[in-house]
Amino acid sequence: MCGIIGYVGTHQAVPILLEGLRRLEYRGYDSAGLAVAGHAGIQILRAEGKLVNLEEKAYGTPLPGVVGIGHTRWATHGAPTEANAHPQVDATGTVAVVHNGILENYAALRAELRSAGVELSSDTDTELIAHLLGREEGPLLERVVRVLPRLEGQYAVVAMSTNAPDELVAFRQGPPLVVGAGDGEMLVASDVTALLSRTRRVIFLEHGDIARLGRGGITVFDAGGHPVDRPIETLDWDAARAEKGGYRHFMLKEIHEQPDAVRNTVLAYLDAERRGINIEGFGFDPHRLEKIRRVQLVACGTSWHACLVGKFYIERLARLPVDVDYASEYRYRDPLLGHETLVIGVTQSGETADTLAAMELGRRAGAPLATVCNVRSSSAWRLAEARLLTQAGPEIGVASTKAFTTQLVALLLTALALRRVRGLDDARDGELVAQLQRLPLALEEALGVPDELYRRGVDLITASADSLYLGRGMLYPIALEGALKLKEISYLHAEGYPGGEMKHGPIALVDDGFPVVAVAPRTPAREKLLGNLREVRARGAAILAVAEAGAAGLDELADLIVPVPDVDPLLQPLVTVVPLQLLAYNVAVELGLDVDQPRNLAKSVTVE
Ligand code: G6P
């Protein structure tokens, strides 16, 4: 979703803003802009489409100044035109704002400003904030304090004014904002990836916070304008981890980072001897956990697929019933919740609006609340009482890969922890822990498949506008995830289905050359899946199977087998998803599409 960057310092602002925007591109956007406070007042540049359009304008129109704000816009109110791009200014051109979020009282504010004679120049809700601030008097901070009660909805805003051209005021209610304290320069951004090249000392603003940034420092206030204490944290992510490192795309780099990401996540939660898990590392209160009778997993997108696998892990190992819900549905369905339900929000970014709202429901009901999250200090991180950090590092490709596999590991470790708390652990746990430590090697092996196989896979998939991905048991979520990866980056329609359900509808789609992707490693249910494959084969389907090499019965059925190592059944979801990620990647590259920033998608959906 929209990306925000702000800079106050001693260097020229434009190149710093453009670099910040470049690093925010991955969030998804369709127009971009920046504003700089200089001798000529506030000057603005905006452009439709990709950042390169804004950069071209910036080269042709020097905007001197050492204070500025920038924005990548993912359209909500109004089309992605230049007029609707941010920054938006007030009627006098003395206040400029950038904004991420949605004002719910947009219509009422618009009508009110119009009847007061204000001419609106865009369709955005953001422009209304600029006018409201412009119509107040006094220092920008005081204006913000007066305007805040008038704004309903979710927003993260950075404002600048010609009255105090050396400062920025940032405020948030919902979408995240992080401020960075550099050397004689202060920055603010939607997420840390935009700040890392200039500072690793940051403050994550809380819901309702207002921050004033000047060259000399940052002061944080509550919504009433009273100073509040917010600690500066030093991040351990470095800028290089958010670079492509020689790979053609971030997604490919992140696919190949999975062995390390998984290794780091496993090791973070093992005891000193690495023979069992370290329950204390999870931050759960054991007394609260003993009372748990069920588990509720909430998430969106790929993280929701991880939860579907997590259900198998927790039910099988900890013998607790698990419900999995889309956070966007859960938050509105008046769920049954109480002290006996452990609620776990699973989220790469920790900022997905629906997941946060679902977690908040749990908190209000007094449920023990945990998160599996990839971003320390994110909103989900701060909301939860127990946190499992997936050690994937920054994930830039919009299509999630290494975050997914580390989420699976984190949920497996959670299942082992719950098993221990419930006194169900036995000698087999040690064997599973040993297998988990060997998992990075299995992932390396899955990554080592020759490109030639993927070239044949690409031909098979691109022969049709649709395809069907089949799996059973805990590999059904992997079929869903494989299909989602393909849709996200290749714009080809794909559907994931449990093999046993195929005869209840999808088989009607199958005709000559229709691609069916089978997630088919050795499991007790494989014979059943082979039965499904025989049925689609008889109707002309082209079959691509993911299975261990030499899988009996598959050779004669499948057009192509992408081999994966033979691992413990609980680890099969991890090794089988890798070829599906690479298949989607190769299809998108072959079709010449923007792998890392697919159209219309946002990396982190921070509004409903
Ligand atoms: C967006 C992203 C997906 C991601 C989902 C949930 O749709 O494009 O890749 O799975 O949000 O994000 P989260 O950060 O909560 O895991």
In the prediction, which pLDDT does 376 show? 85
CA of residue 412 to ligand 1 center, whole Å: 20
Q: Tell whether the model's pLDDT for residue 34 goes beyond 90.
A: yes
Which of 311, 402, 487, 603 is flagged as catalytic? 603
Query: What pTM value is reported for the model?
Result: 0.87
What SS3 state is found at 128?
A: helix
5 C-beta closer than 6 A to ligand 1: no
Packed helices 106-115 and 126-135: angle between N→C axes, nearest 10 degrees: 50
199 C-beta closer than 6 A to ligand 1: no
Nearest CA to ligand 1 atom 11: 604
401 C-beta closer than 6 A to ligand 1: no
What's the full length of the chain, in residues?
A: 608
Enumerate residues 6+ apart whose C-beta is below 8 A from 97: 69, 86, 87, 88, 89, 126, 129, 130, 133, 157, 158, 159, 160
CA of residue 605 to ligand 1 center, whole Å: 7
Q: Tell whether the model's pLDDT for residue 452 goes beyond 70.
A: yes
Site to substitute for ligand 1 among 255, 298, 303, 344, most atoms within 8 A of C-beta = 303
467 C-beta closer than 6 A to ligand 1: no
Q: How many CB atoms lie within 10 A of CB 22?
A: 17
Encode pLDDT of 147-163 as tens digits.
999 999 989 999 999 99
Across 210-217, average pLDDT: 94
Contact in structure between 521 and 547 (CB atoms under 8 Å)? yes
**Among 402, 474, 415, 436, residue whose Cα is nearest residue 568:** 436
Q: Tell whether the model's pLDDT for residue 174 goes beyond 90.
A: no
122 C-beta closer than 6 A to ligand 1: no
User: Sorting pLDDT into bands at 50, 70 and 90, what band is 550?
Assistant: confident
Nearest CA to ligand 1 atom 15: 347
Q: Tell whether the model's pLDDT for residue 291 goes beyond 70.
A: yes
- In single-letter form, the type of residue at position 426 comes to D
2 is catalytic: yes
Spell out the SS3 assignment of 228-290: CCCCCEECCCCHHHHCCCCCCCHHHHHHHCHHHHHHHHHHHCECCCCCCECHHHHCCCHHHHH
Nearest CA to ligand 1 atom 3: 301
604 C-beta closer than 6 A to ligand 1: yes
The CA distances from residue 280 to 192, 268, 327, 387, 388, in Å, are 28, 11, 28, 11, 11
Give the rounded percent of residues in the chain with a pLDDT score beyond 90: 81
303 C-beta closer than 6 A to ligand 1: yes
347 C-beta closer than 6 A to ligand 1: yes
CATH topology identical between 3-240 and 250-447 = no
Q: Tell whether the model's pLDDT for residue 355 goes beyond 70.
A: yes
More confident residue, 165 or 575: 575
At the second CATH level, the architecture of 451-590 is: 3-Layer(aba) Sandwich (3.40)
Mode of pairing for the β-strands spanning 294-299 and 341-347: parallel
| Topology annotation, domain 250-447 | Rossmann fold (3.40.50)
Q: How far is 266 from 260, CA to CA, in rounded Å?
A: 10
Q: What is the overall mean pLDDT for the chain?
A: 93
Contact in structure between 515 and 542 (CB atoms under 8 Å)? yes
User: Which atom of ligand 1 is the closest one to the Cα of 602?
Assistant: 8
Q: How many CB atoms lie within 10 A of CB 500?
A: 16
User: Sorting pLDDT into bands at 50, 70 and 90, what band is 236?
Assistant: confident
572 C-beta closer than 6 A to ligand 1: no
In the prediction, which pLDDT does 450 show? 92
Q: What are phi and psi of 396, to 5 degrees?
A: -100, -40
Q: Tell whether the model's pLDDT for residue 188 goes beyond 90.
A: yes
Spell out the SS3 assignment of 167-198: CEEEEEECCCCEEEECCCCEEEECCHHHCCCC
What SS3 state is found at 37?
A: strand
Nearest CA to ligand 1 atom 4: 301
In the prediction, which pLDDT does 275 show? 86
CA of residue 600 to ligand 1 center, whole Å: 13
Encode pLDDT of 378-436 as tens digits.
899 999 999 999 999 989 999 999 999 999 999 999 999 999 989 999 988 999 999 99
Site to substitute for ligand 1 among 254, 302, 308, most atoms within 8 A of C-beta = 302
CA of residue 604 to ligand 1 center, whole Å: 5
- The single residue listed with the structure tokens 């994110």 is 378
103 C-beta closer than 6 A to ligand 1: no
Q: Tell whether the model's pLDDT for residue 352 goes beyond 80.
A: yes
Encode pLDDT of 520-546 as tens digits.
999 988 999 999 999 999 999 999 999
348 C-beta closer than 6 A to ligand 1: yes
Site to substitute for ligand 1 among 254, 352, 381, most atoms within 8 A of C-beta = 352
Site to substitute for ligand 1 among 309, 349, 487, most atoms within 8 A of C-beta = 349
In the prediction, which pLDDT does 240 show? 65
Q: Tell whether the model's pLDDT for residue 279 goes beyond 90.
A: no
What SS3 state is found at 485?
A: helix
The CA distances from residue 191 to 16, 195, 436, 459, 485, in Å, are 15, 8, 32, 38, 24
Q: Tell whether the model's pLDDT for residue 238 goes beyond 70.
A: no
532 C-beta closer than 6 A to ligand 1: no
CA R_g for the chain: 25
Across 208-219, average pLDDT: 95
**Among 198, 191, 194, 185, residue whose Cα is nearest residue 172:** 191
Helix (H) or strand (E) holding 8: strand 3-8
Q: Where are the domains of the chain?
A: 3-240, 250-447, 451-590
| Topology annotation, domain 3-240 | Glutamine Phosphoribosylpyrophosphate, subunit 1, domain 1 (3.60.20)
605 C-beta closer than 6 A to ligand 1: yes
Across 222-240, average pLDDT: 87
Contact in structure between 15 and 7 (CB atoms under 8 Å)? no
- Beta pairing partners, 454: none
Sign of CA dihedral 371, 376, 382, 388: positive
Encode pLDDT of 248-265 as tens digits.
999 999 999 999 999 999
Encode pLDDT of 71-103 as tens digits.
999 988 788 899 999 999 999 999 999 999 999
Nearest CA to ligand 1 atom 8: 603
Across 12-28, average pLDDT: 93
- The single residue listed with the structure tokens 């992080």 is 178
CA 422 to chain centroid, in Å, comes to 32
Q: What are phi and psi of 289, to 5 degrees?
A: -65, -35
603 is catalytic: yes
301 C-beta closer than 6 A to ligand 1: yes
**Among 98, 91, 85, 71, residue whose Cα is nearest residue 159:** 98
Site to substitute for ligand 1 among 400, 407, 488, most atoms within 8 A of C-beta = 400
Q: Tell whether the model's pLDDT for residue 239 goes beyond 70.
A: no
Which of 2, 300, 307, 373 is flagged as catalytic? 2
**Among 17, 3, 25, 1, residue whose Cα is nearest residue 596:** 25
